[in-house]
Amino acid sequence: MRPLNIVVLGLSLSSSWGNGHATTYRALLRGLAAEGHRVLFLERNTPWYAESRDLPEPEFCSLAYYEALSGLKRFLPSIKSADAVIVGSYVPEGAKVIERVAAMGPRLLCFYDIDTPVTLAALERGEEEFLRRDQVPLFDIYFSFSGGKVLDRLERDFGACRAEALYCSVDRDAYAPTGEPARWDLGYLGTYSPDRQPKLERLLIEPARRLPEQRFVVAGAQYPDDIAWPENVERIPHLPPEAHASFYSRQRFTLNVTRADMVAAGWSPSVRLFEAAACAVPLISDRWQGLDELFVDGESILLADDSETVVKALAEMPEDERQAIGRAGRKSVLERHTGRARARELVDLLRLSDAGSRLAKVG
């Protein structure tokens, strides 16, 4: 089949500062390029990302910036000629962007919600800066970071024409064990979020207090200055994606903590979950519905509800068991959750959509 020409309007591809969107797009777009497809990524030129660009010139797609809504006009030929146009969640002035792009008459218009539970909660509160409720039915396909019952809800309660799960993924070339010696016993990578902080307190900070001889680390931006970090918890304000594999590989265990909206929704794996597992570091995670479809507790992941579970794993688990869990987690990710695997899923869904049936015919 012939390669597809796709336009993506997303929050950011050039900068991973303070957001998880960039690494998600990078893995997916690298996968699309490896499959022979062409992508133009359009990014709003914002000062906070412009100051922290760690991928200003991607080799796997075309990247262009627009300064304001009016700047989208110069991409009209690309948008009209594309086989599919995908608008992502949390794009600045997203609802207005969707309005303008829809008016340009793309052949196939899709939405990629990297924050589905957060988006739906916002819509229910009447917050419509990034997506209006009446815009949901505009999309030929609503791609969602969350699967399971969330997809039924999107179609039943929000009028989506077709809702499909498109989980995050990992670039297998960028995320692999580095072989470096362990520096930390437990680490966490993630931007500060008030609803995640209580779990971080319970599953990392309290274990650090109880195991003062062990070493811990938290990497991520926007943490308040008034957090009382124990002395054995190292802080890294920002960690660019090219440093992630090394970061994970230097941990004996790594922690995954999920936002409350995503726990409530279920079936919402984060990109950090797959990235860490791909580096063969054993995962300790909070619990949510659907996680058991990705990893098996005690075999490829450890689920923890309290500090005691974490302390016991750190202090008592035999080394051969720890390594076996890490290897099993990596195997699960490489089999089903690489960027290239996810790219194939995306293209298959685009070709099979009713509005995109011509793609299959001419492809």
Q: Phi/psi class of residue 93: alpha, beta or left (left: φ > 0; alpha: ψ in -120 to 50)? A: left
Give the pLDDT of residue 361: 45
pTM for the structure as a whole: 0.83
Q: What is the mean pLDDT of residues 306-326?
A: 98
Q: What is the mean pLDDT of the chain?
A: 94
Question: Residue range 158-182: average pLDDT?
Answer: 95
Integer Cα distance of 141 and 272 in angstroms: 25
Give the model's pLDDT for residue 113.
Answer: 97
pLDDT of residue 338: 96
Whether the pLDDT of residue 336 is over 80: the answer is yes
356 has a pLDDT exceeding 70: no
Virtual torsion, Cα 12, 14, 17, 19, nearest 10 deg: 30
pLDDT at residue 36 in the model:
98
Residue for token digits 């509005």? 355
Percent of the chain scoring above 90 in pLDDT: 87
Classified by CATH at the fold level, domain 184-336 comes out as Rossmann fold (3.40.50)
113 and 119 Cβ atoms separated by less than 8 Å: yes
Sign of CA dihedral 232, 316, 243, 117: negative
Express each pLDDT in 213-258 by its tens digit. Answer: 999 999 999 999 999 999 999 999 988 888 999 999 999 999 999 9
Domain 5-169+339-362 CATH class label: alpha beta
Q: Are 300 and 329 in contact (CB under 8 A)?
A: yes
Cα separation of the two ends of the chain: 4
What is the mean predicted confidence (pLDDT) over 291-313?
Answer: 97
Token representation of residue 60: 């796997």
**Least confident window among 18-22, 149-153, 216-220, 319-323:** 18-22
State CA 130 to chain mean position distance. 18
Indicate where the chain has its CATH 3.40.50.2000 domain(s): 5-169+339-362, 184-336
Write down the pLDDT at residue 362: 45
- In this structure, of 41-45, 257-261, 346-350, the range with the lowest mean pLDDT score is 257-261
Averaged pLDDT, 3-25: 93
Measured CA to CA in angstroms, residue 26 lies from 17, 67, 314, 356 at distances of: 14, 22, 33, 24
Q: What is the pLDDT of residue 355?
A: 57
pLDDT-derived band of residue 20, with 50, 70 and 90 as boundaries? confident
Produce one character per residue of 276-313: b if its CB has 16 or more CB atoms within 10 Å, e if not. Answer: bbbbbbbbbbbebebbeebbeeeebbbbbeebeebbeb
